[in-house]
Amino acid sequence: MRDNNAKPKLTRESVRNLLSDEESSTGKSSLSSVAYTIASQYAQSTNSPVMISGIMRIIEFMIVAVTGIAIYIFYVGASPSLFLHYLLAVVVTATATVFMLELSDSYQLATMRDPFSKFGRLVIIWSGVFAMMSLAAFFLKISEDYSRVWFGAWFLCGLVLFVAFRLIMSRLIRRWARNGKMERRAVLVGGGKPAEDLIRSIEQQPYNDIRICGVFDDRDAKRSPPIVAGYPKLGNISELIEFARIAHIDMLIVCLPITAEERVLSLLKKLWVLPVDIRLSAHNNHLQFRPRAYSYIGSVAMIDLFDKPINDWDSVAKRAFDIFFSLFGILVFSPIMLATALAIRLESEGSVIFKQQRHGFNNEIIEVWKFRSMYTEMCDPTARNAVVKNDPRVTRVGRFIRKTSIDELPQFFNSLMGTLSLVGPRPHAIAAHSHNLLYNDVVDGYFARHRVKPGVTGWAQINGWRGEIDSDDKIKMRTEFDLYYIENWSLWFDLKILLLTPIRLLNTDNAY
């Protein structure tokens, strides 16, 4: 059973207490006071189990490798002629150890959390790898090239450190599970008996990392009770979107029969804009698919509908990409940025940097930096009035830096700080509109652009969709290209966009 010591689910009594305080709601949210209170509990991000297991692989590889090298230096001596010989054996052994642990599911959450349950298996894997290395050395007739004392000491010391590390990590994982720092937060979509059965099944899974945060359903109390297996129904599907953004929800589980095709599609049309995994519960479905069609929470089968884009290790790789190329861009363009700042200061009074609030990842509000291109008293932080050709608000320096996109260079610092990515959908101002309609009213699914961090440059921009948006078709095409980028993301795609950006910026027809 999962550990519920840290943040126990709301009981019927606590839900009634919250409902009785409904009138004390702050008014900051369209959610009910119950839903807002619960969402606020989960406002802090969590450690991903996938990331933790990945880091454990790296650390255990280093434990095996560093122990072998350290004993070699201490006992054999730092002989350059032998070092590469021993290093090859160390790297092969460390790789084989992690590989065998992976094959035996030793990086699953249950094993990491309770290493004593699989202690014998871990020792057998460790011993087996060293036995295979001994046999390989024997058959290759190179065993005499290695010190037996080194090999034996490496086996014993490595085993002690390996077990000690597993024990330390098991305590940390248990603690993170208790205080809510390592969990996948889930919301059930659809109530009633199917949701209750699913909740019971999930809670019976040993060491499961799912924390159910509540139930959302469009149906009334007669068809969908206000409390399901101890969890409150927090609102309808529209309110779920706001709740998921506040609470940093990781997964939506749709508890509807797969045969209810029309209702499932209707829900997905609303929910796909969120940066979360969306699963269809196969718990009570009688239709059977191939095993590979399912993912599992313990033994509970789920059908994967949508995956969170750029998640876990992909997000680490993209962040490293952003930091490296942002530092490179700041270094290369620093003379141009200094000259631009001086020119702006000489032409007109006011701050050199213009800061504007825009929509960021998960629809959050971020502050984006640009070189000021307008007269200070005419600046429009809300972007309610888009810049047009020969706009009198734009300074002479402003016209040049907007044409050449030099005004965007301070966004390298946004990328370095993490509010922007170098490549992604361009962030739009909060009040940006087309023909007096906000962009999300013009484009169905517009907010799906915000499933990833916005970027300094993007796929839409290098395909010519930049500058003034004076028609609905332009924002629709921008969104279409942005969604293509999200669905086809890779580091190579990011690099391609980054390299093409300076070339495509030579076309300044739409930049005013």
Q: What is the torsional sign of CA 77, 83, 86, 91?
A: positive
Q: How confident is the model at residue 203 (pLDDT cuts 50, 70, 90)?
A: confident
pLDDT tens for each residue of 248-276: 888 999 887 766 777 888 888 888 888 88
pLDDT score for 395: 87
Asked whether the predicted pLDDT for residue 94 surpasses 70, the reply is: yes
Question: Which residues does residue 437 pair with via DSSP β-bridges, in sequence order?
Answer: 434
Q: How confident is the model at residue 291 (pLDDT cuts 50, 70, 90)?
A: low
What is the C-alpha separation between 196 and 301, in angstroms, rounded?
15
Q: Which domains does the chain have, with CATH numbers?
A: 49-178 (no CATH), 183-306 (3.40.50.720), 313-504 (no CATH)
Q: How confident is the model at residue 15 (pLDDT cuts 50, 70, 90)?
A: very low
Both tokens of residue 242? 């706001």
pLDDT score for 23: 36
What is the C-alpha separation between 234 and 240, in angstroms, rounded?
8
DSSP 418: T
pTM score over 0.95: no
pLDDT score for 433: 62
Q: How confident is the model at residue 308 (pLDDT cuts 50, 70, 90)?
A: confident
What is the C-alpha separation between 202 and 199, in angstroms, rounded?
5
Q: How confident is the model at residue 425 (pLDDT cuts 50, 70, 90)?
A: very high
CA proximity to 469, closest of 430, 443, 433, 507: 433
Compare 317 and 433 and report the one with higher pLDDT: 317
pLDDT tens for each residue of 43-82: 777 777 778 888 899 999 999 999 999 998 888 776 776 7
Cα 171–Cα 176–Cα 201 angle in degrees, nearest 5? 100
pLDDT tens for each residue of 384-411: 666 667 778 888 888 888 888 888 999 9
List C-alpha distances in Å: 67 to 74, 157, 197, 445.
11, 7, 49, 53
Asked whether the predicted pLDDT for residue 492 surpasses 90, the reply is: yes
Phi-psi region of 445 (alpha: psi -120 to 50; beta: other; left: phi over 0): left
pLDDT tens for each residue of 365-385: 889 999 988 887 777 666 666
What is the C-alpha separation between 187 and 254, in angstroms, rounded?
9
Compare 302 and 497 and report the one with higher pLDDT: 497
138 phi/psi in degrees, rounded to 5: -65, -50
What is the C-alpha separation between 460 and 473, in angstroms, rounded?
13
Which DSSP string do the residues of 26-89 spell out, in sequence order?
A: -SSSSS-HHHHHHHHHT-S----HHHHHHHHHHHHHHHHHHHHHHHIIIII---HHHHHHHHHH
Mean pLDDT of all residues in 411-435 = 85
CA proximity to 253, closest of 234, 228, 277: 277
Mean pLDDT of all residues in 294-315 = 81
